[in-house]
Chains A and B, each alone.
Chain A
Amino acid sequence: MLKINNLHARVEDKEILKGINLTVNAGEVHAIMGPNGSGKSTLAAVIAGKEEFEVTEGEVFLEGENLEDTSPEDRAHKGVFLSFQYPVEIPGVSVTNFMKTAINESRKAKGLEDMPAKDMLKLIREKSELLEIDRKFLSRSLNEGFSGGEKKRNEIFQMAMLEPKLAILDETDSGLDIDALRIVANGVNKLKSKDNAVIVITHYQRLLEYIVPDFVHVLHNGKIVKSGNKDLALELEEKGYDWLKQETVI
Chain B
Amino acid sequence: MAYTEEELKKELETKEYEYGFYTDIESDTFPNGLNEEIVIAISKKKEEPEWMTLWRLESFKIWKEMVEPEWANVKYKKPDFQAISYYSAPNKKPKYDSLDEVDPELLDTFKKLGISLDEQKKLAGVAVDIVMDSVSVATTFKKTLAEKGIIFCSISEAIKEHPELVKKYIGSVVPQKDNFYAALNSAVFSDGSFCYIPKGVRCPMELSTYFRINQAGTGQFERTLVIADQGSYVSYLEGCTAPSRDENQLHAAVVELIALDDAEIKYSTVQNWFPGNKEGQGGVYNFVTKRGLCEKNAKISWTQVETGSAVTWKYPSCILKGDNSIGEFYSIAVTNNYQQADTGTKMIHLGKNTKSTIISKGISAGKSQNSYRGLVQVNSRADNARNFSQCDSLLMGNECGAHTFPYIEVKNKSAQIEHEATTSKIGEDQIFYCNQRGIDTEKAIALIVNGFSKEVLNKLPMEFAVEAQKLLEISLEGSVG
Contact = CB atoms under 8 A, between A and B. Distances in A.
Interface of A: 48-52, 71-73, 75-77, 80-82, 84, 87-88, 90-93, 97-98, 101-103, 105-106, 109, 141-142, 158, 162
A80 B448 CA distance: 22
30 contacts: A49-B435, A73-B435, A73-B436, A73-B438, A73-B439, A73-B441, A75-B436, A76-B437, A76-B438, A80-B436, A87-B433, A88-B433, A90-B433, A90-B434, A91-B451, A92-B450, A92-B451, A92-B452, A92-B454, A93-B451, A97-B447, A98-B437, A101-B447, A103-B438, A105-B438, A105-B439, A105-B443, A106-B438, A109-B438, A162-B438
B432 A72 contact: yes
A103 B428 CA distance: 21
Contact of B448 (A75, A93, A102): A93
Contacts of A88: 427, 429-430, 433
B273 to A, nearest CB: 27
A71 B435 CA distance: 8
A101 B455 contact: no
Contacts of A87: 433
B440 interface: yes
A73 B430 CA distance: 13
A90 B436 contact: no
Question: Which of A77, A93, A109, A162 has its CB near the most chain B CB atoms (within 10 A)?
Answer: A93
B453 interface: yes
Across chains A and B, which 5 residue pairs bring their CB atoms closest together, nearest first? A92-B451, A93-B451, A76-B438, A72-B435, A92-B454
B425 to A, nearest CB: 12
Contact of B450 (A50, A93, A158): A93
Given A92-B455, A105-B438, A158-B437, 10 more contacts: A71-B435, A73-B438, A77-B438, A90-B448, A90-B451, A91-B451, A93-B448, A142-B451, A162-B437, A162-B438
Interface in B403-459: 427-430, 432-441, 443, 447-448, 450-455
Nearest to A109: B438
Given A87-B433, A92-B454, A101-B447, A52 B428 contact: yes
Contact of B437 (A52, A102, A109): A102
Given A92-B450, A93-B450, A102 B433 contact: no
Contacts of B441: 73
B454 A102 contact: no
A43 to B, nearest CB: 15
B207 to A, nearest CB: 29
B460 to A, nearest CB: 15
A162 to B, nearest CB: 7
Contacts of A52: 428
A9 to B, nearest CB: 15
A71 B440 CA distance: 9
Contacts of A80: 436
Given A90-B451, A91-B451, A93-B448, A102 B438 contact: yes
Contacts of B452: 91-92
B453 A92 contact: yes
Interface string B89-115: 000000000000000000000000000
B432 A101 contact: no
A82 B436 contact: yes
Interface string B307-322: 0000000000000000
A93 B457 CA distance: 13
A171 to B, nearest CB: 15
A84 B436 CA distance: 10
